[in-house]
Amino acid sequence: MSLEPARSPIEQRLAEAGLPALPRTAWLELDLDALQGNLAIVRELAGPGVPVRPVVKADAYGHGAVPITLALEEAGADGFCVAAYDEALELREGGVRAPILVLYRVAGTWAADAAGLGIALAVGDGPGVSDIVGAAAGIDPARPLAVELEVETGLGRGGFAETELVAAARALAAAPGIALTGLWTHFQAIEDAANTAIQVERFEAAIRALTAAGIDLPPRHAAASAGLMTGEVVPYDGVRPGLAIYGLVPDEIGGAISQQGHAARLRPVMSLIARPVRVADLPAGWGISYGPTFRTARPSRIATLPVGYGDGWSRRLSNRASALVRGVRVPLVGNVAMDAVMADVTDVPGIPVDGQDEFVLLGSSGDARITAEELARERTTNTWEVVTGMARRVPRVYHAAARPVGLRTLTER
């Protein structure tokens, strides 16, 4: 076991970078070098000339939508996907210029606005087509609204069945203010090869139906992170990776695959760091946090970390998770509170842990690592929820070349 040398205090690192001080001593560190490296790996998986349009919905999976998307745009991403229209607006207002697709239905009220901003809208049912077509009547055909059709192939969540698809495509093609720019689907369980093959065949049947109807075939996309890593889905005319961009392997294909090939080269972008707001020596039998569900069995040194379920650190992790300090794993004890969790640092070697020590709750310290996958298992959830659940109030510190280059807090963008 190696003890990690202390880093310069976060206040010093931020000051040297010309950035404001943090409003609290808990923060996320986002590695932009890892992010851009992951994009390059995804490009290799997609193949030469295949556009890569990362999914940056849910605040870029909790990493911070605008800073992350700008970094990906700088690295050459071909476009982006979001779930909601206001997510697209946030990116445009933040300076993102690349194409953006909104994957979930958007009311026709926003059609003209979307056309003017170059934001593409997805539609997957008849009422959605009618709404969009009606709203597009006043849009300048020289700057049409880009619309993509979703195909229902078996996810059971959205999209046109093959029998409905041709009529929807014809309705859009007949509207002068609309341009049909994409055809896509989404998969239910990539790890189920037989089911995935059925979904692929349904998508291919939809493509054949459009071709037989004489409709110009728009660019097609179906592969997300898992499909790319397993090779179960062809890249078609573009890919929309999510979790892999952030350096994480989708849970359903984890295990052995995460240790080999392209997956082994992915680097997690997010770390969660905290410095104690109090370190105290407490006697045996002392209750820790609300409840309490933990009492000290001996005289113990307890560090209070300013991270709680209000920050996305789930209450389900009470008495089940760890933190890393000086490269040593220590237990987190007591019930997770809204704003705090406690670490038992009694057995950390060397001088007693104090308020200047940094604790890693997600990420690495020395040779030790706490992964999002580990936290997901402890919470009986998935990796996506772990990272997307990081609250907006947790400051994000963006790093490149191992130095801070940007900061996002509730008041700093």
Catalytic residues: 57, 290
* Residues 6 or more apart in contact with residue 141 via CB below 8 angstroms: 176, 177
Sheet bearing 145-150, strands edge to edge: 80-82, 100-102, 119-123, 145-150, 178-184, 220-221
What are the strands, taking DSSP E only, across 314-387?
322-325, 328-333, 341-344, 359-365, 368-370
Q: Which residues contact 264 (CB under 8 A, 6 or more apart)?
A: 258
Tell me how far apart the alpha carbons of residues 79 and 240 are, in angstroms, rounded to a whole number: 9
- CA dihedral defined by 377, 158, 139, 141, rounded to 10 degrees? 100
Measured distance CA(245)–CA(99) in Å, rounded: 18
Task: Give the C-alpha distances (Å, rounded to integers) separating 389 from 141, 313, 386.
Answer: 41, 8, 5
**DSSP one-letter code for 52:** B
Give the span between the Cα atoms of 89 and 110, in whole angstroms. Answer: 11
Cβ-Cβ contacts under 8 Å for 192 (sequence gap 6 or more): none
Distance from the first to the final alpha carbon of the chain: 39
Q: At what angle do helices 162-174 and 193-212 cross, to 10 degrees?
A: 40
Cα–Cα nearest to 345, from 305, 303, 307, 286: 303
> Which helix (DSSP H) or strand (DSSP E) does residue 164 occupy?
helix 162-174
- What whole-number distance in Å separates Cα of residue 125 and Cα of residue 99? 23
Residue-wise DSSP of 234-302: --TT-B---GGGGT---GGG-GGGGGSHHHHH----EEEEE--SEEEEE-TT-B-TTTTS-B-SSSEEE
Do residues 249 and 243 lie in contact, with contact meaning Cβ atoms separated by under 8 Å?
yes
Residue among 100, 121, 101 nearest 112 (CA): 121
Q: Which residues contact 33 (CB under 8 A, 6 or more apart)?
A: 399, 400, 401
Look-up of token digits 């889905």: 233
